[in-house]
Structure 1
Amino acid sequence: MVDVPQAVERMEAFLADQMEAAGVDGYVVGVSGGLDSAVATTLATRAVGSDAVFGLIMPGRPNDEENMADARALCRDLDVAFEELSIQPIVDATDAQLPFDASRLTLGNVRARTRMVLEYAVANEQDRLVLGAGNRSERLLGYVTKYGDEAVDVQPMKDLYKTDVSAVARHVGVDERFIEKTPTAALWEGQTDESELGADYETIDTVLRRVVDAEQSPGRVASETGIDRETVDRLVELWQSSAHKRTQPPGPSLRD
């Protein structure tokens, strides 16, 4: 597990340093009502002050109104100015222009990328950086939308596993209701992280810490943890097959 107080200190220093180095007025953060965005918003306000943080709440199917209410409450509790911009008209217009019946996954990715278009539009107007709320578990499994939720200027929590995020949340005083929520990217109705990934984050993080960080074999991980081999192999496959999401777009070398 990460040293939580040290991690918080480093993330807050990072956010302050990045803002100063860029010479901007602050950060724009998408506030979803979920745990990750609640932690990212809280860290930013602690690091640079609430006046330098602007929340963007982006309702649209299938977002739960309870999550939107929690997003508003978080911004008010942190004294962060915010605005609500619906993604639904943009998603509907995109869907209407496609020359095919878009799949659930395709429209889910359109939703994620629409959110980033709006975040960057606001950031451009306000001379701010876009603050990401991604974590290490999601990045390693490729459980992100390419040029969607990964298209940000800074990712303070990129080295935190999902289980670490909960520990950080408690350390910085995020309300327990955010920690207890079922994780979901809200890309389609009924979507949850666990149902898609096939395991809870305790299991996922155990496997990733051992396979990626400690370079243990899948067989050893299954044997020593009691996690069934099929689950371990599936998570390892997700990690290996999603490498393209963690690198810059490839291109040929044209210089000798």
Structure 2
Amino acid sequence: MDYARVEARIHDFLRDRLDAAGADGYVLGVSGGLDSALGARVAADAVGPENALGLILPGAPSSTANMRDARDLCDFLGIPYEEDDIRPAVASIRDGLSGDFDETTVGNVRARVRMTYCYEAANARNYLVLGADNKSEYELGYFTKYGDGAVDLAPFGDLYKTDLYEFAEYLGLPETFIEKQPTAELWEGQTDEDELGASYEVIDAVLRRYLDRDLTVAEIVADTGIDRDLVERFVSRHESTEHKRRRPPTPGL
């Protein structure tokens, strides 16, 4: 991929969208992971670090190392940042609702609380909320509906996760972010690849062939040698999460 062209297109996209909205800058959550580090970098380069705000929003089980890396990244890029502990807000929601909360439900609450913080900060400054989800996550529905999926624009929505590793190398992001195990830290010990059941290299190999080349399951298996059950799992996950990628249905009146 021509990453110089990718970088230029993303910069133009961010500037054009800001102008079209009459907004003054971008807010983004900075988690200490690769995707948000890339988001912070392209925002700073496109519109200037002074027109971006990083939100660092720890809440159990956020690791102290990731929060430190998030702060260091903002300092490195010259982006102002604010830090708020989301645990009281999450606890308030849990205490106010009846029923049992399993780890997935609590993880979704954390994602939606972070979304609320991002939009509150954006509204206060006339900013837009910048998302960091990539195409792999988007096409698998691997995001929280109305949580991290609720953003004003998604500069990496056309790039698979494996593309982002290469893009980060091209941009010269610190290796700390490139080498990290991907995780949303929505619950203790959670990692993307453990939860999804395969590495992003395998996932992207399936998605590229299914979405971009329109291959069947059998053709993907023959082309890659990936286990058929895995291929079927990711194809099925893509199809079953279609509702997360579309506006709510209406009766068509």
- Short-chain TM bin: over 0.9
- Aligned equivalents of 2:239, 2:117: Cα separation in 1: 31
Q: Tell me the secondary structure at the aligned position of residue 27 of structure 1.
A: strand
Alpha-carbon shift at residue 39 of structure 1 (Å):
0.3
- Aligned equivalents of 1:141, 1:116: Cα separation in 2: 20
Q: Which residue of 1 aligns with 2:136?
A: 137
Q: Which residue of 1 aligns with 2:96?
A: 97
- Aligned equivalents of 1:88, 1:35: Cα separation in 2: 23
Q: Which residue of 1 aligns with 2:199?
A: 200
Q: In the alignment, is residue 154 of structure 1 matched against residue 153 of structure 2?
A: yes
Please give the residue correspondences for 1:13-32 in structure 2 after superposition, counting only pairs within 5 Å: 13-32=12-31
Which of 95-104 and 70-79 deviates more? Answer: 95-104
Q: Which residue of 1 aligns with 2:86?
A: 87
Give the letter aligned to residue 170 of structure 2. Answer: H
Give CA-to-partner distance per residue, 1:95-136, whole Å, 9 cap, x none: 111111111111100000000000000000111000100100
Give the letter aligned to residue 209 of structure 1. Answer: R
- Aligned equivalents of 2:129, 2:165: Cα separation in 1: 22
Give the letter aligned to residue 122 of structure 2. Answer: A
Give the letter aligned to residue 247 of structure 1. Answer: R
Give the letter aligned to residue 252 of structure 2. Answer: S
- Aligned equivalents of 2:41, 2:171: Cα separation in 1: 7
Give CA-to-partner distance per residue, 1:70-99, whole Å, 9 cap, x none: 000000000000000111101011111111
Q: List alignment gaps of at least 5 residues for structure 1.
A: none
Give the letter aligned to residue 216 of structure 2. Answer: S
Give the letter aligned to residue 238 of structure 1. Answer: R
Alpha-carbon shift at residue 155 of structure 1 (Å):
0.5
Please give the residue correspondences for 1:53-72 in structure 2 after superposition, counting only pairs within 5 Å: 53-72=52-71
Give the letter aligned to residue 125 of structure 2. Answer: Q
Give the letter aligned to residue 21 of structure 2. Answer: A
Give CA-to-partner distance per residue, 1:170-224, whole Å, 9 cap, x none: 1112111101100011110000001111010000000000011101011111112
If the length of structure 1 is used for normalisation, what is the TM-score? 0.97
Q: Tell me the secondary structure at the aligned position of residue 54 of structure 2.
A: strand
- Aligned equivalents of 1:85, 1:221: Cα separation in 2: 45
Q: List alignment gaps of at least 5 residues for structure 2.
A: none
Q: Which residue of 1 aligns with 2:112?
A: 113
Give CA-to-partner distance per residue, 1:2-45, whole Å, 9 cap, x none: 32211111011100111111111100010000000000110010
Q: Tell me the secondary structure at the aligned position of residue 136 of structure 2.
A: helix
Alpha-carbon shift at residue 157 of structure 1 (Å):
0.6
- Aligned equivalents of 1:24, 1:144: Cα separation in 2: 26
Across the aligned residues of Structure 1 and Structure 2, the Cα RMSD in angstroms comes to: 0.7
- Aligned equivalents of 2:13, 2:172: Cα separation in 1: 20
- Aligned equivalents of 1:45, 1:170: Cα separation in 2: 17
- Aligned equivalents of 1:4, 1:228: Cα separation in 2: 31
What is the aligned residue count? 253
- Aligned equivalents of 2:125, 2:172: Cα separation in 1: 28
Q: Which residue of 1 aligns with 2:42?
A: 43
If the length of structure 2 is used for normalisation, what is the TM-score? 0.99
- Aligned equivalents of 2:4, 2:238: Cα separation in 1: 28
Q: Tell me the secondary structure at the aligned position of residue 69 of structure 2.
A: helix
- Aligned equivalents of 2:196, 2:237: Cα separation in 1: 9
Q: Which residue of 2 aligns with 1:170?
A: 169
Alpha-carbon shift at residue 253 of structure 1 (Å):
1.1
- Aligned equivalents of 2:128, 2:3: Cα separation in 1: 25
Q: Tell me the secondary structure at the aligned position of residue 28 of structure 2.
A: strand
Q: Tell me the secondary structure at the aligned position of residue 139 of structure 1.
A: helix
Q: % of aligned pairs identical?
A: 52
Q: Which residue of 2 aligns with 1:248?
A: 247
- Aligned equivalents of 2:196, 2:23: Cα separation in 1: 38
